[in-house]
Amino acid sequence: MSRMVTTEKKERTRFAIVGAIVIVVIVAISVAGVVVLRSPQGRALQALADAADKSEKRPGALVLRAQGCRQVIVLSYEELRALGMQVDEAAAALATLEVICNGAPAARTCNDFAQAFAKAEGAALRGVFHLVANDDDDRPQCTGYFDAQGAPMGPAIVR
């Protein structure tokens, strides 16, 4: 009987030790996460994640995904600058938004994507936007500037 009690005590002690270790590990991971997110790099990473999340919820992004784009990014040049990203100043002088369709199906053109995007965005879309459609290997398939109705501002460049 004495051995059973001792064995039970040992098992409880092991369980308590494992539980304490798990709690310490969880606390350490939480503290590390807070430290990382409070750093400048952590704040920049969080800002980028927030911008990407906002971008994915735009009506135009939803339509482009329905048109076959694997991933859609829609950001204003102001947002890109605020995120500390490099901005093509020539493009920023012509357009207000950068629209990127990754994994674009080959059967669709930049004109198709631009018209669908403009129609979905509606009155919220102001000014010219720059659209880039990349193939499944993320190589540019076509690119061009389009007005708020989705009409090309010149010939789309097809690669």
Digit-coded pLDDT (tens) for 32-78: 666 655 666 676 667 667 777 777 888 889 999 999 999 898 888 88
Q: pTM of the prediction?
A: 0.67
Q: Greatest CA span in the chain, whole angstroms?
A: 91
Give 61: exposed, middle or buried? Use CB within 10 Å, 0-12, 13-18, 19+.
buried
154 vs 47, which has greater pLDDT? 154
18 and 56 co-located in one domain:
no
What's CA 58's distance to the chain center, in Å? 12
Q: What is the pLDDT of residue 66?
A: 93
24 and 56 co-located in one domain:
no
Nearest to 112 by CA among 67, 155, 80: 67
Domain residue limits at 60: 51-158
89-139 pLDDT, tens digit each: 777 778 888 898 999 988 888 999 999 999 999 988 888 999 999 988 878
Nearest to 145 by CA among 97, 76, 89: 97
**Rounded-to-integer distance, Cα 51 and Cα 96, Å:** 16
11 and 82 co-located in one domain:
no
**Rounded-to-integer distance, Cα 83 and Cα 151, Å:** 29
Does 46 map to a domain?
no
19 and 87 co-located in one domain:
no
Q: What is the pLDDT of residue 16?
A: 66
Which stretch of 11-25, 82-96, 99-113, 136-150 has the lowest confidence by average pLDDT? 11-25
How many domains is the chain partitioned into structurally? 2
